[in-house]
Structure 1
Amino acid sequence: MMFRHLSAFCALLILAVHGQTETEPPTTLITKATTTTSAPTTIAEGQWETETLNEGQAIQKALQYLLAHRQPDWGWGNDTHHVMLTMQLANNTGKEIEQQGLEMQLSAKQMEIEILLMMSKHHESPPPLSRLAAYTLALGALCKDPRSFHGRDLVAALLHREPPHDLEFAYATLAACSSAAHVRRRHIRRLLDIANAAADHSLDTISMVILALRCVVQDHRHRSLLHFVRRPMAGLARQQHADGGFGALPTTALAIQALEDSDSGPGAHQHWSLPAARKWLLEKQEPDGGWGDVSNTAAAIAALTPASLAAVRPPHCSDKLLDSKHEPLDNNGGDGGVKLAYPAHASNETDARNVSFTYTLWLGTNVTENYTLYMVAPRNISFYHVMQMAAEQEPKFRFEASSWPNGHYVHTLAGHREEPMGYHYWLLYRLPEVPDPAAPPGNQLVAPVGVDDLLVEDGEHYLFWYKKL
């Protein structure tokens, strides 16, 4: 987010599974892809009003601090983009930069000069992605299109390289999304991968991933991904300290922005206290209105304002955007084991009739291969039909099944056929969480019915595991 040193990243009866008995000679059906912590204390209402008033006063003092530290060139040195973004987030008048005071316009021009200087050195060395992402976000907050910045496409430069560091990647994806650029499906898959392994990442990274995903789901075609944001939000919320903070000031400021709009993750507020986090910030403010330096002050203001990095561009800027916000869903870009699957022609009206879930394949008792699809399907659909959808989406999920009077018996998946002589079978599990090879599910979680009778439910996770019994 708004950090000066973003590059230094803080870091389981087989027949029961299929629900059929072999009473008649089967006919084989081959399905292939078709062409078509302790709970924080709750603040009373009156006390909350006092906190709100104090927050407003704190923000005004902090803005005065930033203005007092503006340099003769009307910028803030290496923090110009952070300050401009923060000031726009704190600006609730809806005015564009051209409608604001002359001094703010001069500061915006200084930022543009800094961007042009950075891009002019591109032939010498690529611009730092974290700085480029910050500039992109700041321009969006100013109602300026970073894809058409003095003949340069900053978003294209931003997406040209995929950073190895997850925090920088999430930051770049957030900036691209905020600029109404295409959010590639492989980028969404990587965000989901990080979110599903939250324990392996820093709080800064998880917060930024949540913000990026929240930006993505603002488009109705990706709104079904909202379910996958809930778990990392709840996990992040549980990391709040007894004093209300999340560690360092920038980390706390970022976590507040990731969690404060908890309609993106119902249940998050059960695990944390927004008033306690803001109170922690207020107690750290110094008499001069700042939080030690310009960078920390900008971060704190952003956390205290109603707006957040998940929605940087003001609504009145929509007429200044180019093209549509996301790439078509039928464009299957990228590679890797985790993919996305959507029903055709998903629309806002069908969102309420759809369910979101995952479908995973494991190969080997010790899980040597792991493939996952993040799927959206109509309610009350059978898992057999889900398997057909998955096979059309991804060849690895193609399967073969025997047809019996009471349903289908799946015997082959991902090119692996059951081997009764070696006791290798496909077992279907219904799980409450994404399956983890390090903590494989027990036999009590095997699906109680066969693939034709098992109806997928929202938020569940389904695993077909090829293992030795």
Structure 2
Amino acid sequence: MSKSLNIFAVCISVMLFGLWGSVFGRDQDTASSEKKTEKELERALQWLVSQRGKDWGWGGLETTQALLAVSLTRTGDPLERELTTKQMEVNLVLQLWRHHETPALTPAKIAMYSLALSANCHDPRQFHGHDLIGSLLHHEAESDSEFALCSLAVCSSGAHVRKRQIRRLLDIANSKHTVDSLGGVVLALQCIVRDHRNRNLQHYLKKPILALAHLQQSDGGFGSLHSTALAIQALGDETEAWNRSSAVSWLLDHQGPDGAFFDVTTTSEVILALAHKGLGSVREIDCDESPVDVEAPSAAIIPHLNILPEAKPNTTLKANKTISSASDKQKKPTGVIVTPKTESETEKNEDVTVSYTLWVGSNVTENYTISITTPHNSTFYNVMQLAAEKDTHYVFSATEWPNGHYVHTLAGFKEQPMSYHYWLLYRLPSLPDPSNPPVNQLVAPTGVDDLIVEDGEHYLFWYKKL
């Protein structure tokens, strides 16, 4: 009997040891898998940032997708994200102003813009005189997947989703079985039930979540990179009905050697899935903290140019205006003034002459114009340097980034992102007239370093509220 008990004890010990080893092995595999995912996620983010243009955008709606990815993962410097947000806002303003010339914005596009604005603590309900959320509520998308995306955007902005829209979401959940429609519905309903007024809807999530989980294919994916990324965002850490690690592995199998997942839009979607920071997390961002004005670095020192100490500004200006000093409300930029080589060092037979105007205020309370002669093939940045040497009104500060200079201060007026005050550069066919200000279609198409000036052109830097 004693011998039998000993044998039984040994068997139990072996079983427990095997079970412990199995669990320990799975934990090691999970840790290894998560470490690999983090590494590939970092490569994808690096590729995405490398595709950003010199205007801080990615071009069109891709800027919105990429901005969501870098904002929700907190990638890069806050100032960089704010510059990208500014570029996106300019693009959207142009589309809103050109609605008679270009195809109208679809509800899905407005929803993406709204999500990106909310992710960066900008209210889409008060977008320069436009209520983007009100537009989504009054103009419903026809397709189920787009309608779900619009509902998510409305909820993420903090607005109340109407009962009629909730009923349609529930109808889609009960009748449609595509990854895109179910994924969008789950994300929208997950956001809606966070509102205490809609907590009773929690049990309605079980059916679409289960239906979406059952659409996972044998290879781990959900049909495409877009659909798989959306499904992972919607299903989250739900493990009973689907296999998350298998879906993530399927995504990583389609990653390119450079870290990309085909293009900017798809890479941005996959990043959100891998980072556990999907579109559903936009509403979780805390925007109640007091905004912090990000201080830009001092003026860049450019090699191969003469550097002079910053001169004290004149207190007597044109039109009885004064450049702010240390005692004024607007502080002068610190650092150095970057000035170019003298005209005698260049070939005079290839010179071009342009006008360079500064406007301050949406109502143009300050107006200065200077004529600049510069060598052929000069950039507008060269023009700015010459102007700063000749007239203290044109003293500027710029941040030097790997993809060019970003001018943030002119004539003592620094951009204020929190109040939407920015410097906008226009390239015009004639001298700017305050009584007939230029439309935003004439905003310069590129940055100051890539803008080659031509003889007889007119340039305007306008400090205004967007």
Letter in 1 for 2:53: Q
Which of 74, 81, 103 aligns to 2:64? It is 81
Q: In structure 2, do the counterparts of structure 1 residues 83 and 228 end up closer, same or farther at CA, with 3 Å as the change threshold?
A: same
- Larger mean Cα displacement after TM superposition, 122-131 or 231-240: 122-131
Letter in 2 for 1:84: L
Relative to the length of structure 1, the TM-score reads 0.54
Is the 1:133–1:158 contact (alpha carbons within 8 Å) kept by the matching residues of 2? yes
Displacement of 1:123: 4.8
Rounded to whole Å, the distance in 2 between the matches of 1:150 and 1:106 is: 17
Correspondence 1:336-355 to 2 at 5 A: none
Rounded to whole Å, the distance in 2 between the matches of 1:81 and 1:148 is: 18
Correspondence 1:227-242 to 2 at 5 A: 227-242=203-218
Relative to the length of structure 2, the TM-score reads 0.54
Letter in 1 for 2:183: S
1:246-279, Cα deviation, whole Å (9 max, x unpaired): 11000000000110143xxxxxx32211111111
Correspondence 1:371-382 to 2 at 5 A: none
Which of 109, 114, 121 aligns to 2:86? It is 109
Which of 247, 251, 254 aligns to 2:230? It is 254
1:53 aligns with 2:35: yes
Is the 1:65–1:290 contact (alpha carbons within 8 Å) kept by the matching residues of 2? yes
Query: Which residue of structure 2 aligns with residue 441 of structure 1?
Result: none
Which of 304, 311, 320 aligns to 2:274? It is 304
Letter in 1 for 2:65: H
1:70 aligns with 2:46: no
Structure 2: which 5+ runs fail to align?
1-22, 291-466
Query: Which residue of structure 2 aligns with residue 289 of structure 1?
Result: 259
Letter in 2 for 1:115: L
Query: Which residue of structure 2 aligns with residue 122 of structure 1?
Result: 99
Query: Which residue of structure 2 aligns with residue 218 of structure 1?
Result: 194
Is the 2:225–2:251 contact (alpha carbons within 8 Å) kept by the matching residues of 1? yes
Query: Which residue of structure 1 aligns with residue 168 of structure 2?
Result: 190
- Per chain length, whose mean CA-contact separation is higher, i.e. which structure has more relative contact order (CA < 8 Å, sep 6+)? 1
Structure 1: which 5+ runs fail to align?
1-41, 263-268, 321-469
Displacement of 1:103: 3.2
Which of 285, 306, 309 aligns to 1:315? It is 285
Displacement of 1:144: 1.1
Displacement of 1:117: 1.1
1:89-112, Cα deviation, whole Å (9 max, x unpaired): 2128xxxx9xx3543332221111
Rounded to whole Å, the distance in 2 between the matches of 1:61 and 1:311 is: 22
Is the 1:256–1:274 contact (alpha carbons within 8 Å) kept by the matching residues of 2? yes
Rounded to whole Å, the distance in 2 between the matches of 1:241 and 1:300 is: 18
Letter in 2 for 1:181: A
1:220-260, Cα deviation, whole Å (9 max, x unpaired): 22111111110110111011111111110000000001101
Q: In structure 2, do the counterparts of structure 1 residues 309 and 261 end up closer, same or farther at CA, with 3 Å as the change threshold?
A: farther
Is the 2:237–2:244 contact (alpha carbons within 8 Å) kept by the matching residues of 1? no
Rounded to whole Å, the distance in 1 between the matches of 2:148 and 2:120 is: 21
Displacement of 1:319: 6.2
Letter in 2 for 1:281: L
Query: Which residue of structure 2 aligns with residue 388 of structure 1?
Result: none
1:330-384, Cα deviation, whole Å (9 max, x unpaired): xxxxxxxxxxxxxxxxxxxxxxxxxxxxxxxxxxxxxxxxxxxxxxxxxxxxxxx
Rounded to whole Å, the distance in 2 between the matches of 1:239 and 1:70 is: 35
Query: Which residue of structure 2 aligns with residue 169 of structure 1?
Result: 147
Letter in 1 for 2:64: H
Which of 121, 131, 139 aligns to 2:117? It is 139
Is the 1:141–1:314 contact (alpha carbons within 8 Å) kept by the matching residues of 2? no
Is the 2:158–2:283 contact (alpha carbons within 8 Å) kept by the matching residues of 1? no
**What percent identity do the matched residue pairs reach?**
44
Displacement of 1:311: 2.2
Letter in 2 for 1:72: K
Letter in 2 for 1:86: A
Rounded to whole Å, the distance in 2 between the matches of 1:315 and 1:107 is: 18
Rounded to whole Å, the distance in 1 between the matches of 2:289 and 2:84 is: 24
Is the 1:136–1:154 contact (alpha carbons within 8 Å) kept by the matching residues of 2? yes
SS of 1:317 mapped into structure 2? coil
Displacement of 1:299: 1.0
Rounded to whole Å, the distance in 2 between the matches of 1:261 and 1:91 is: 21
Give the aligned length: 266
SS of 1:312 mapped into structure 2? helix
Is the 1:143–1:314 contact (alpha carbons within 8 Å) kept by the matching residues of 2? no
Query: Which residue of structure 1 aligns with residue 137 of structure 2?
Result: 159
What is the RMSD computed on CA atoms of the aligned residues?
Answer: 2.1
1:165-224, Cα deviation, whole Å (9 max, x unpaired): 11111111110100011200000000000001133xx21011001100111001122111
Rounded to whole Å, the distance in 2 between the matches of 1:217 and 1:278 is: 27
Displacement of 1:75: 0.9
1:1-22, Cα deviation, whole Å (9 max, x unpaired): xxxxxxxxxxxxxxxxxxxxxx
Is the 2:155–2:283 contact (alpha carbons within 8 Å) kept by the matching residues of 1? no
